[in-house]
Amino acid sequence: MAKGGSSFHMSAVPVTIFAHLLVISIAALTLAWLIKFREGFAFKSQSNKAKIFNLHPLLMILGFVLFSGEAIIMYKAVPAKRRAQKLMHLILHFIALVAGIIGVYAVFKFHSEVGIIHMYTLHSWIGLSTICLFGLQWLLGFFSFWYPRAEPMKRARMLPWHAFFGMVIFFMTIVTAETGLTQKFLFQGLRRSQEALIVNFTGLLILLFGISVGLIVILPRRIV
């Protein structure tokens, strides 16, 4: 950290390290919750349909939220040439998109098999809107910035809007995850229990991850 009068400049590096530690912690808590307290996950299950549902939080948190966040911060985290960074950004977002689509399919499959109506909560409305906007953003980014790419002047005009809507969509994923955990908490009636603590801490760490990603975006890679 370098002082300059009454102001100071902070590097994105320590925040990036903190964000990576959050990723590890969120993944560990999510797996512990779903395996220890929710009996794991499966695409097909005759005896325990809840295992099908468990794929939803698994893929949406580990795949959609964490990979999309990593895709955003990798510009500050990976010291590589710009084109290599763009490729990694594109791939990580694609993994997040695929995980999100499968996660949405899993919850629709669960609802169909147990006879629950679809799209009846705020969580589901925000979630489906987020996955649709995410897919549209990825396609526009691919054709505008990767292949065949728009003209340089057009790309320069589009870049700020691409970055802005990318962050808006990412924060929508955070809101979706938080409302989903809250919904699960209330519907399961967890109250005071070890499982409730894990769910609450997972939600808290996801919020911190979202804040960290937003901070990393506005900070320089190294101290100026």
> What DSSP line would sit under 100-117, residue for residue?
HHHHHHHHHHHHHHHTPP
Torsion of CA 64, 66, 67, 69, to 10 degrees: 110
Q: State residue 9's pLDDT score.
A: 62
What are the backbone dihedrals phi and psi of residue 117, each rounded to the nearest 5 degrees, phi first? -70, 155
pTM of the model: 0.92
Can you read off the two tokens belonging to residue 91? Answer: 């791939």
- Written as tens digits, the pLDDT of the chain (224 aa) is 444 444 446 788 899 999 999 999 999 999 999 999 999 999 998 889 999 999 999 999 999 999 999 999 998 888 889 899 999 999 999 999 999 999 999 999 999 999 999 999 999 999 999 999 999 999 999 999 998 888 999 999 999 999 999 999 999 999 999 999 998 877 776 666 888 899 999 999 999 999 999 999 999 876 54
Positive/negative CA dihedral, 33, 38, 40, 42: negative
CA gap 27, 33 in Å, rounded:
10
What are the backbone dihedrals phi and psi of residue 214, each rounded to the nearest 5 degrees, phi first? -60, -40
Q: State residue 193's pLDDT score.
A: 83
Q: Which domains does the chain have, with CATH numbers?
A: 10-218 (1.20.120.1770)
CA gap 74, 203 in Å, rounded:
23
**Alpha carbon distances (Å) from 77 to 55, 66, 81, 154, 175:** 29, 14, 12, 27, 24
